[in-house]
Every structure is written in C-alpha cells, then in structure tokens.
C-alpha cells in the first residue's frame, strides 16, 4: 500500500450541489488496536488481529514490540496483524524504544514492560516530553517496580528496571488520563499475586476503561470493577486468539459531523450500538442538536438538520470535543463544552488550541479551565488554521472548510497519526 503524500497546507473546497448521501468505512479503532497489541503481546500463543488500524500510533507500537523480540507480522493491505505472544516476559531484556507522539504506546508499554525482566528506556518526540506519566510510575513502583522519569520531570524519557510486579495494592489518579489505569490493568494479569487498584479522584474518560476491561476478558482475564473506584485483577495467563478490531468511532465523528453541517446523510458501516467505544455516543449529542440518528445492526446513520446549540459534559467522549466545537460554529445559540480539562494534556493543549483557531474563524470563545463556551459568528471568516501537530485539529477544522471558502489547514499530514487516509475518504464522499 503506497504511503499517502501530504502537501504543506491544504485549502478545503466548500461543498456545492446537493447535500451528500454516502456510506463510509473508517479504519480500525486506534484505542482498540493498541490495547489488543499489548494484550496479545503478553499472551501465550498466537493472536490474529483483524481490522487493525495502520497509522503512526499503531506503527510505533508494532515497531516497539518487534524491538522487544516479538514476532509481529503486519499486513497493511488486509488490515491484519499477527503476533506471537511472550507469555508475560519479553525476549529482549534491554531496549531503547521510540514511541513518537503516541500516548497510548508510552503508557501501555511502560506498564507492560514492568511485568518482565530487563532494563528499558522509552522516549518520543519533543511534545512527548511534556506528557505526564508520573502517576503510572508511582503506581508501578508501589507494586515492586523500579520505574522513573529520567529527567525528573514526571514525563518521558522513562526508564524501567523491571523484575516483575508483586501485586498487592496500587493507587492511580483518575483525573489526568484514563490511560494510566488502562495500562496498569492490562499488565496486572502477569503480576505475581492479586492486585487491588484504587482510583483517586474522579476517573476521566470512563468508557475507555470499560473498553480495556472488555478486551482483557476477551483474552482470558477476569478483572472486576466496583463503580470505577476499585478494580481487582488476579494473575491469569492471557491466551492468544483471533480478535476483530472495530472501526474507529472517533474517526467516524468527522463524517457524522459532516452530515450535520451540510444537511446530508452519512452512514458508517460496521459500527453500531454493540460497539465497545464510548465515542459513538457523539451521535447522541448531534441528535440533541437537531440531527436524526438511525441506529441499525451493523451501521449508524446521521441525517443533518437545522442545528441548535447544546450545553454538554463531554468527559466520557473527550476525543470528539474538537469535532463538536467546529459543529458549534453552525448551530443556533451558544454551545458550552464542560468537564474536559484533561484534554489540555493531549497532543497539544486542545482547549487553548481550539479557542485560538475558532477565534480566527470569527467565533467568540470563552476559555475555561475545563472547557469552552462558543458563540458562532454572524459570518464565518476565512482563515489559515494551525494544527499544532494534532491530528484531531486538522480533521475537525476541515469540516469548517466544507461550509465556507478560504479555510486552509496547515500541516494536513498530521492526520497520519491515526487516520492516514482521511483526506482521500473525505474526497470520496464528495464524488
């Protein structure tokens, strides 16, 4: 499969003609792919992951697992990854691993490496050195690990001197990133004894933890969850298996939003209410804004309509905040997005970035510590939109260009982090 070529900037052509009516197949879920890769790596035996995402984030995970001595075959054309698990102990006992700007790879690998034996270092791009990991390191060290921030910043580079995890009690803050908890939970079946994990504070992005638990169970573990406050994990040997990766619900949000702002009808195939991904609930928000949503077996459809503003707590679906912020430009009234302060610690400070770029388009934006208040302009103005090396900024603000001329996306190639074919799929909807 040839690698996409991206220009330095891309001016989006406004939608002309009748509203779109299309069926779209988005690539596999990044969140599920990277979770499945970690669990399959720790399992005993071979796993075959179908529908797997091929993107920058999943490639750095695959490359790291190969560097750790695992046999991993990635058929990108067929979207299949085959991996021979290590049974909880990586063959290579010393490695320097590069994870790019992939927070899931950083946090999941940090925990997984701690259950084995060896010395490992994990680093990434400059932005990665600003992404917190100290809460996970503290939890691992409480279970018998020796893991530290090399520079003493609480961020990468991370060094793990691994000799297994003892089990016992661990405490994890829940208000910065659910990835700390997910990474820890996936590793704990390989610990020496039962582990009880207590969450301190309110757990953000709870659907992602539910996804983690479902995937662990699919590979043979039996974690318990008490109201997202206490988790109990028993030592268990994961068993390799065939596992289907769902289409990415976060990626689907851009096409659902396209239907909303153009008055069109977009169907996402192979994504329905049985999904493990909380981000599919984005369609509920669009429904409150005036869209019609059809939920059928094997597909979900959004039909656009006159849009009205919403006041919404998006903590559980925070990866779709940026999509909604752009939809808010075309809604009647003031939209408020609440309880998403943790997205300041993502690829960029997403609240600040959104406020800056929405203002370029003419919106009035009040930035709060945990969210935004967006007043749409009477007339949206053309702008050159900075993307901050953040894939979701590029894909979200592309939607604005469908409605007004002169919206230029800078560094459109940053979509390769999770959705390399986004621009081609967007173009296909127009044809």
Just list the catalytic residues. 319
Would you give the distance in Å from CA 396 to the centre of its chain? Answer: 15
The backbone region for 154, taken as left when phi is positive above 0, alpha when psi lies in -120 to 50, beta otherwise, is: left
What is the token pair recorded at 327? Answer: 């939809």
DSSP class of 221: -
* In contact, 98 and 60? CB cutoff 8 Å: yes
Q: Which of 421, 358, 354, 364 is nearest to 393 (CA)?
A: 354
**Distance between terminal CA atoms of the chain?**
22
Q: CA torsion sign, 112 to 114 to 119 to 121? A: positive
* In contact, 383 and 375? CB cutoff 8 Å: no
The count of other CB atoms within 10 Å of the CB of residue 243 is 19
CA distances from 146 to 136, 163, 228, 334 (A): 12, 8, 27, 49
The backbone region for 338, taken as left when phi is positive above 0, alpha when psi lies in -120 to 50, beta otherwise, is: beta
CA gap 385, 383 in Å, rounded: 6
Q: State yes or no: cis peptide before 157, omega within 30 of 0.
A: yes
> Torsions phi, psi of 274, nearest 5?
-80, 0
Beta-sheet strands, E only, within 134-259 = 146-149, 158-163, 168-173, 195-200, 224-226, 230-233, 242-244
């Amino acid at each position: 499969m040839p690698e996409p070529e991206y220009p330095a900037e891309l001016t989006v052509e406004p939608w002309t003609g009748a509203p779109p009516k299309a069926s779209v197949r988005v690539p596999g879920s990044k969140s599920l792919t990277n979770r499945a890769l970690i669990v399959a790596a720790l399992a005993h035996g071979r796993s075959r992951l179908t529908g797997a995402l091929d993107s920058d984030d999943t490639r750095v995970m695959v490359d790291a697992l190969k560097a750790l001595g695992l046999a991993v075959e990635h058929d990108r054309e067929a979207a299949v990854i085959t991996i021979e698990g290590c049974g909880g102990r990586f063959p290579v006992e010393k490695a320097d691993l590069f994870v790019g700007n992939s927070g899931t790879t950083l946090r999941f690998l940090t925990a997984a490496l701690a259950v084995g034996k060896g010395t490992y270092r994990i680093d990434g791009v400059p932005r990665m050195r600003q992404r917190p990991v100290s809460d996970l390191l503290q939890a691992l060290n409480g279970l018998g690990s020796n893991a530290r921030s090399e520079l003493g910043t609480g961020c990468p580079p991370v060094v793990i001197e691994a000799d297994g995890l003892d089990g016992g009690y661990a405490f994890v803050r829940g208000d910065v990133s659910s990835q700390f908890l997910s990474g820890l939970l996936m590793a704990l079946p390989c610990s020496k004894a039962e582990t009880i994990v207590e969450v301190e504070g309110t757990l953000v992005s709870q659907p992602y933890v539910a996804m983690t638990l479902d995937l662990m169970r699919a590979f043979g573990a039996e974690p318990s969850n008490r109201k997202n406050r206490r988790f109990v994990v028993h030592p268990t040997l994961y068993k390799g298996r065939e596992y289907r990766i769902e289409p990415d619900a976060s990626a689907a949000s851009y096409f659902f939003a396209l239907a909303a702002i153009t008055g069109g009808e977009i169907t996402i195939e192979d994504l329905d209410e049985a999904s493990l991904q909380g981000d599919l609930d984005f369609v509920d928000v669009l429904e409150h804004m005036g869209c019609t949503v059809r939920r059928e077996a094997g597909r979900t459809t959004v039909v656009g309509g006159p849009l009205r503003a919403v006041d919404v707590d998006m903590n559980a679906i925070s990866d779709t905040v940026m999509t909604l912020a752009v939809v808010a430009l075309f809604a009647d009234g003031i939209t408020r997005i609440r309880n998403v302060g943790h997205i300041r610690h993502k690829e960029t400070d997403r609240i600040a970035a959104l406020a800056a770029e929405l203002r370029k388009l003419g919106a009035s934006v009040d930035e709060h510590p945990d969210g935004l208040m967006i007043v749409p302009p009477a007339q949206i103005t053309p702008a050159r939109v900075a993307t901050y090396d953040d894939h979701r900024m590029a894909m979200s603000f592309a939607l604005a260009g469908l409605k007004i001329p002169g919206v230029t996306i800078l560094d459109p190639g940053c979509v390769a982090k999770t959705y390399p074919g986004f621009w081609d799929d967007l173009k296909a909807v127009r044809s």
